[in-house]
């Protein structure tokens, strides 16, 4: 697979360095491995559309860069996302008075491998030409749009409408909008 990144989103070329970053203590200071990791982290980010081979990979900070401040405001949240992890996945969270949402990256599964709860409703869809699944969670006012990025990875936009937004905002519309805006910046 060939992947191009447009505006703002950078891909990490070495997935192993991403997985290991921030895990445990650093007992390799001064070693060749630590020097290589440091060089990889300080290397210029790929923002000019150059092609990358292999499946995509994102850090939580890069996920935050997938939405501009203006796009975040348009989704009724504060303009700056907060890097985090959700269920072990890299993620970025945004919050507002009426809505909270996150973008998360899963590098082990695609949309067809998602488990849907008994009370949840799902519908197949396409977002920016990619296989996607819209999941409306039955017990809460939340919805997710999961979009395949490769055979073994996906981006998920999960939205919860808070009490200030109930009856005014549709969580599935917002999840689909967030996934659309984020995946516009990632092309195959």
pLDDT of 57 reads 84
pLDDT of 91 reads 96
Residue-number span of the structural domain to which 64 is assigned: 60-187
CATH of the domain at 82: 3.40.1000
Q: Are residues 111 and 155 in the same domain?
A: yes
Q: Are residues 91 and 180 in the same domain?
A: yes
34: phi then psi, degrees, rounded to nearest 5: -65, -40
Q: Are residues 18 and 98 in the same domain?
A: no
Q: Are residues 134 and 95 in the same domain?
A: yes
pLDDT of 139 reads 77
Low-confidence ranges of the chain (pLDDT < 50): 1-52
Round to whole Å and give the CA distance between 58 and 186: 11
Q: Are residues 31 and 72 in the same domain?
A: no
Q: Are residues 70 and 127 in the same domain?
A: yes
Q: Are residues 77 and 169 in the same domain?
A: yes
Average model confidence (pLDDT) across the chain: 76
Number of domain units in the chain: 2
Q: Do residues 158 and 89 lie in contact, with contact meaning Cβ atoms separated by under 8 Å?
A: no
Q: Are residues 145 and 69 in the same domain?
A: yes
Q: Are residues 12 and 82 in the same domain?
A: no
**What pTM was estimated for this model as a whole?**
0.70
pLDDT of 143 reads 96
Q: Are residues 123 and 38 in the same domain?
A: no
Q: Are residues 121 and 167 in the same domain?
A: yes
**Rg (alpha carbons) of the chain, rounded to whole number:** 17
Round to whole Å and give the CA distance between 145 and 157: 5
Describe the strand order of the beta sheet including 142-150 as a list of residue ranges: 82-86, 89-95, 99-106, 153-161, 142-150, 130-137, 121-127
Q: Are residues 134 and 168 in the same domain?
A: yes
pLDDT of 9 reads 33
**Hey, what are 82's tokens?**
């907060």
């Amino acid at each position: 697979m060939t992947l191009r990144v447009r505006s703002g989103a950078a891909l990490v070329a070495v997935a192993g360095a991403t997985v290991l970053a921030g895990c445990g203590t650093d007992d390799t200071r001064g070693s060749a491995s630590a020097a290589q990791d440091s060089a990889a982290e300080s290397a210029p980010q790929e923002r000019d559309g150059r092609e990358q081979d292999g499946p995509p990979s994102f850090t939580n900070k890069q996920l935050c860069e997938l939405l501009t401040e203006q796009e975040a405001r348009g989704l009724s949240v504060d303009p700056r996302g907060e890097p985090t992890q959700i269920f072990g996945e890299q993620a970025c969270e945004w919050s507002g008075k009426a809505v909270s949402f996150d973008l998360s990256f899963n590098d082990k599964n695609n949309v067809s491998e998602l488990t849907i709860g008994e009370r949840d409703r799902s519908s197949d869809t396409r977002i920016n030409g990619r296989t996607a699944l819209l999941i409306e969670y039955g017990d809460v006012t939340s919805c997710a749009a999961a979009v395949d990025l490769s055979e073994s990875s996906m981006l998920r936009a999960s939205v919860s409408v808070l009490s200030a937004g109930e009856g005014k905002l549709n969580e599935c519309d917002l999840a689909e909008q967030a996934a659309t805006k984020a995946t516009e910046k990632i092309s195959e």
